Structures are given as structure tokens and as C-alpha cells.
């Protein structure tokens, strides 16, 4: 029994020696031989005094202002940052198209103002409807670079999204902003599913204010009442709450009294398209007593007369 106990003790001792021989004095949570780089947190935010979007109807007017700064004031800054731009179009965003906008930035905060001409020159093609341009910093610490939009994996700012006042990147989208002065004057009927208006017929729009215009439906009887169209300038959708357009429908005087129209269907089915200079009105038609004719809504499309 003594020999067996000695053998067991010897085996335990040898195991301990082997285990200890595999350790190093710098082992720990982060061994000394592992290099850890403290990457400063940089926030990128839009300056509200600049443009919020790129208006394709007035490209020279675009002046996008944004600021790049240390998220934690007083912390050590990076060696430098390069401000880069990522271009995308549509709902799928990849990091396949990235250009350097400003290289070697060492002052924080720094404010930049970008123009549509600069963006078009960088990418070598005109800005198109639906384009998105995202600005963010590539961060340098010593000789190491941490990318905002790497080909693989998350960028430098992705982990802090949702923190108060933190901005991973700023985005400028190419859209056609609503212009109230465009939606006045003569428009040509492109199509009318209700078949009152004839393609090629002229409808005159009247500007009411910055978000409303009106027109008359000549197929109702006098006294005619203007159809008031309200524009949501945030997304270019339009709406017409049910409203009277005249005494009767002219094709059934005395029978179809109390003529009214109102937009129906999906909210997005009635809209203005300033780039195309068109307005799409998805109308329901009805008469007194709230009776709406079946089969609707019926789409009326108007386009600005050249």
C-alpha cells in the first residue's frame, strides 16, 4: 500500500511540474505578449445649418455640413483620421464603393461642408435619384488603421450605435424635393382610370401655399369647388380628404347630386414626383349620403406641360 501511495504522489507532483512548466510569468487576462490598441471613439454628426439631402432639382444648392469629433472630450485623440464616403443605391448597402474625401485630419472637432460637385467628381459619375452617400472616419492609431466601412466585418463605429448623441456616419440621400412653384400652372392628363378626363386634356393647378395646391373638376356642375391637395413634403405623398367638387356629376344631373372625391387606397399610391413633374391622385368618387362608386380608387395622372 505504501508503494502505491508513493506512486500516486509522484504522478501528482509530475503533473503539477508539467502544468507549471507550460505557464509564463506574463500570463493573465491579457498577456504582455498580446498587443492591445486603444482606439479613440469618434462621432460623426450632421450640422443642421447645412442641407439635409441632395436635391436633384437643384444640385448646386446642396451644402452638406457635418462635424467629426471625439465622443469623450479630453481623451487621447487618434494619430489622424481619413474622412471616407460610401456610395449605395437602394435598400442593399455594401462597402464595395468607398472613396477618401479628406485625408490626414488631426484637429478635433473638425467641420466639413461637401458639395454635389465634389461627390460627383470623386465617384466619376453624376449623382442619381436614390443614391445614398455616407461619411465616416477611418481611424489611425500609430501605424494601425481601423476602417469605417471595411470589406469584411463591422466598422469602427458600429458597436456604439444607440449611445446618446453618437453618430456612426452621416448620410445624404439624393431625392427630388417638393417645389410648390412647380405644382402650379398647366398640367397635361396622362391617364384617367375613371375616364372623365381624356389623355392630353389640360388641367390647371393653383398654388395655395408651401404644401397645398388645387384644381377644378369640370365634370361636376356649377358652382365648382376646388379640389385641395395636401403634400407631405417629407416623403412627397399627397392626400385629399373627401370633399365636394360641385353640385352634381355632369353626366347624371339631378340623379348623382352632391359630387365628391377623396384619395383612397394605400397612402403611398397618391404622390407627387418632382423629378418627373407629375402628380398621381388615386381617387374615390361619390355622391350625397356618402355613397362611393364601386371599383375604385381610380388613378388620375397629371404631368407638367412643357
- The overall average pLDDT reported for the chain is 89
Cα–Cα distance for residue pair 44/135, rounded to 1 Å? 8
Interior/surface letters 146-156, b for 16+ CB within 10 angstroms, e for the rest: bbbbeeeeebb
Q: What is the pLDDT of residues 263-280, one digit of tens each?
A: 999 999 999 999 999 999
Question: Is residue 23 pLDDT above 90, yes or no?
Answer: no
What are the residue boundaries of the structural domains of the chain, listed by start? 42-175, 185-304
Which residues does 47 contact at the CB level (< 8 Å), separation at least 6? Answer: 65, 66, 67, 111
Averaged pLDDT for residues 295-299: 96
pLDDT at 38: 75
Encode pLDDT of 88-133 as tens digits: 998 788 999 999 999 999 999 999 999 999 999 999 999 999 999 9
Residue of 76 and 33 predicted with greater confidence: 76
pLDDT tier, 9 (very low <50, low <70, confident <90, very high otherwise): very low
Distance CA 66, CA 84 (A): 13
Pairwise pLDDT comparison (20 vs 111), residue with the higher score: 111
Is the preceding omega at residue 20 within 30 degrees of 0, hence cis?
no
Residue 152 has pLDDT above 80, yes or no: yes
User: The pTM is what?
Assistant: 0.70
Mean pLDDT, to the nearest integer, of 192-209?
98
Span 209-257, pLDDT tens digits: 999 999 999 999 999 999 999 999 989 999 999 999 999 999 999 999 9
30: pLDDT strictly greater than 80: no
Q: Is the peptide bond before 297 cis (omega within 30 degrees of 0)?
A: yes
Strand 170-175 to strand 54-55: parallel, antiparallel, or no bridges (unpaired)?
Answer: parallel
Percent of the chain with pLDDT over 90: 78
Amino acid at each position: 500500500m505504501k508503494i502505491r501511495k508513493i506512486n500516486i504522489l509522484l504522478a501528482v507532483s509530475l503533473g503539477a511540474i508539467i502544468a507549471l512548466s507550460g505557464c509564463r510569468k506574463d500570463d493573465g487576462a491579457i498577456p504582455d505578449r498580446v498587443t492591445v490598441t486603444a482606439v479613440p471613439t469618434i462621432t460623426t454628426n450632421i450640422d443642421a445649418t447645412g442641407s439635409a439631402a441632395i436635391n436633384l432639382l437643384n444640385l448646386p444648392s446642396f451644402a452638406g455640413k457635418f462635424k467629426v469629433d471625439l465622443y469623450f472630450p479630453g481623451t487621447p485623440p487618434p494619430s489622424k483620421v481619413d474622412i471616407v464616403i460610401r456610395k449605395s443605391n437602394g435598400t442593399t448597402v455594401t462597402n464595395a464603393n468607398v472613396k477618401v474625401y479628406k485625408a490626414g485630419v488631426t484637429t478635433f472637432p473638425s467641420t466639413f461642408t461637401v458639395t454635389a460637385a465634389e461627390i460627383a467628381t470623386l465617384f466619376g459619375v453624376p449623382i442619381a435619384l436614390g443614391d445614398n452617400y455616407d461619411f465616416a472616419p477611418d481611424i489611425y492609431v500609430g501605424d494601425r488603421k481601423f476602417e469605417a466601412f471595411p470589406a469584411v466585418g463591422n466598422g469602427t463605429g458600429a458597436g456604439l450605435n444607440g449611445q446618446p448623441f453618437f453618430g456612426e456616419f452621416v448620410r445624404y440621400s439624393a431625392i427630388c424635393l417638393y417645389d410648390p412653384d412647380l405644382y402650379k400652372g398647366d398640367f397635361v392628363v396622362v391617364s384617367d382610370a375613371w375616364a372623365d378626363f381624356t389623355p392630353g386634356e389640360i388641367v390647371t393647378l393653383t398654388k395655395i401655399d408651401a404644401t397645398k395646391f388645387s384644381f377644378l373638376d369640370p365634370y361636376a356642375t356649377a358652382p365648382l369647388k376646388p379640389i385641395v391637395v395636401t403634400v407631405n413634403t417629407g416623403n412627397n405623398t399627397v392626400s385629399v380628404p373627401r370633399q365636394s367638387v360641385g353640385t352634381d356629376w355632369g353626366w347624371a344631373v339631378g340623379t348623382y347630386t352632391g359630387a365628391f372625391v377623396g384619395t383612397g387606397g394605400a397612402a403611398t399610391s397618391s404622390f407627387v414626383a418632382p423629378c418627373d413633374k407629375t402628380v398621381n391622385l388615386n381617387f374615390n368618387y361619390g355622391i350625397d349620403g356618402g355613397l362611393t362608386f364601386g371599383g375604385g380608387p381610380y388613378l388620375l395622372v397629371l404631368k407638367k406641360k412643357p
